[in-house]
Structure 1
């Protein structure tokens, strides 16, 4: 005969089993939690290490940026110094020459004297050089050069104190003395041509006093000068307005100021 099972015993067994399951569950859960805590701690340590490394890298980057800033400032200074040096070298090497003729009268005969005007950076000096022939210059010629320099500065809007002007004269070997200011217009136009890097029309010549205002003043010996100009191949001679003449083989045109001379002679 089967023994009757008491319900209380069953409940006790069930309770025991439940407690046992809970104990096993808690054991595994607690172990898992411990492992998770260990993993979290390990990850936190890694994060802390990475953060410290990032901090070190940031410090190095900041230091590098400061060094790069110093290098850039140094490079800017060097670049400016190089630019200044190049500008200085350009000034030292700058030299422009223009050629034309000045016309005069010697012993009742017209003469043409070769004129080369050189403009280069300098200290505002006005110089002249006699290349060939025994040529003497009267102080009135020097006055014409001074007026020409002033007018050239006004026409080009340049400070003539930044340039040296060298007039080179070459005659035919004869002894002569140049007197008067009739070469003033030629001095002026050759300077303007050099300063503005323009060319001079070789078939056009000019004679005339240059006034500080830029106007062209009257001269003497127009016919003799026209003949001398014709002999060296000049086709058109610019003369002070009102002094035009008719002469075979060359045309004369009157001009009132240096701007009109520029229109005829420069291109």
Structure 2
């Protein structure tokens, strides 16, 4: 079957094709930056968007949070220790107009800026701070990145340092340092125990010195505690005042 279209039919088909090509559908997380004759016109979306072919051009921008894996960076700490550090950066576009107009490729620009910022910020801290204070370092890097990417319409929401890689010699040195620290704490605890024990002994001696008989009772109690072991012979001095007390008890009544 052969269809014969006149001029009017061709015009209608051309208009329909033009209308279809002018329609764009943007998802909820997308925005369209529209340029009219090369100049910025407006940001459209989400939903059905009409773009005039040949006159207007539209660039899609994703507003979802993007995850950027920062590759390993060679960092020299403030105490001259060489380490390799990698991180992950979470960011999103908050101003589509700036993200398209102010920078050529906002994702690549953010990646390069994150690498240089990671080296610059960590280079100002010691190795111990990198290992023990990651939360504070993450916050410092995030604030620096967020301040610099604000002109691009980018919001850096979070930065997390993933790994801090050390060479084997440095790992062994840290292990020796940790072992020495534990030994130091053990010695301090032992010395504090000796000090407390000496203070208690001094108080006990003062209390025993108040009553002469208290020392004798303590002496006899000590002898009773060591007398359970019958395999040894114990030789101990007998206090003179104790003998005098026994002699007084054994003396018949009426004798002086």
Under TM normalisation by the shorter chain, which class is it? under 0.3
Greater relative contact order, per chain length (Cα 8 Å cut-off, separation 6+)? 1
Please give the TM-score of this superposition, normalised by the length of structure 1: 0.20
Please give the TM-score of this superposition, normalised by the length of structure 2: 0.21
